[in-house]
Copies of this chain bind each other. A is one copy, B any other.
Amino acid sequence: MASSALASSRRTPVTTFSDQLAAAIRSRGNPVMVGLDPRAEQLPPDLLANSLLRSPERVAAAYREFCRGIIDVVAPLVPVVKPQAAFFEQLGPHGMTALADVIAYARESGLLVVLDGKRNDIGDTAIAYAEAYLGPQSVWKSDALTVSPYLGADSLEPFLKVIDQRGGGVFVLVKTSNPGGGMLQDVTADGSTIYRRVAEYVEQAASARLGKCGYGSVGAVVGATYPEQLVELRNAMPHAWLLVPGFGTQGGTARDVVAAFDSQGLGAVINNSRGIIFAHARREYSSRFGPGRWLEAVEAATLDMIAQLKAELPSISPDAA
């Protein structure tokens, strides 16, 4: 698995994505990532009237308003958001324009943005994806992008090349949170699972791109729904940020994700999408706030998740060690 791009010389950005993420987590005192996954049928009713005339343009405008509202609430509370590209793409160019607006608004609001696109391809095509979402001329310019490893190392290296030149980060899918993820990821050959092989690649790539915080700008997606593998993968990738989905609605708890963190409470971000953005529809919050006060439900759900994590994690110092 040796590769030229892992070792290539490069200009290091003044502040790496990795250090930006560490600083954002320290400043907020928690590692919560809010997933921005708008869905027309679950929006608060005041944002999208229950109309048959749901044009893509109107739905896109509602997604924009919905996400901006969430960003206003969570920007002072959490370090990072993760917009899901698919829901915006579903609306066509109107959706993609709304996505650009949401990303820019989140960054202006002081949040880091990891775009969840799970893109992958080879050579020039992978570079085009990296430039599309991480390049300086991108309208969807994000701080990091999720990418898929099925095509192998030479599909990941173009992304690494772009982050080395442009800054930014990538999170490679390693062990996903869905029940069927094991179909390929858990296959074991010569004593090593597929997910473990991807993890080894990520660890090498992260180690070659270390920030001052001790982690690199190449991270891994590792689901909260497999706590044993989370322990294994934390150990296998001591220099990689872990993006941990599956908290909340998918069943992962604060106790399940403790193993993702180091003794300073760094090393991972814990994503929650539906549990926060659609909190107004959750039993715990619907009676307190009702759909009209959905932003208060978002705030309460975010604060509750922060409290749940703080009860289990080492306390995070506002200053670098």
Contact = CB atoms under 8 A, between A and B. Distances in A.
A321 to B, nearest CB: 36
Contacts of A182: 152
A148 interface: yes
Interface string A122-145: 111110110111010111100000
B129 A183 contact: no
B89 A184 contact: no
Contact of A155 (B97, B131, B139, B178): B178
Interface of A: 1, 3, 37, 39, 56, 84, 86-87, 89-90, 92-93, 96-97, 100, 116, 118-126, 128-129, 131-133, 135, 137-140, 148-155, 173, 176-185, 187-189, 194, 197-198, 201
Given A93-B100, A153-B180, 6 more contacts: A86-B119, A93-B97, A118-B151, A122-B177, A148-B148, A150-B184
Contact of A92 (B39, B139, B148): B139
Nearest to A122: B178
A74 B285 CA distance: 58
Contacts of A181: 122, 151-152, 154-155
Nearest 9 CB-CB pairings of A with B: A154-B180, A152-B183, A152-B180, A92-B139, A86-B128, A189-B189, A89-B132, A150-B150, A122-B178
A120 B173 CA distance: 11
A185 B150 contact: yes
Given A86-B121, A125-B87, A184 B149 contact: yes
Given A96-B96, A151-B176, A152-B178, A128 B183 contact: no
22 contacts: A1-B183, A56-B137, A84-B128, A86-B129, A89-B128, A90-B131, A92-B100, A93-B93, A93-B97, A93-B100, A116-B121, A118-B120, A118-B148, A122-B178, A149-B150, A151-B173, A151-B181, A152-B185, A153-B180, A154-B181, A184-B194, A188-B189
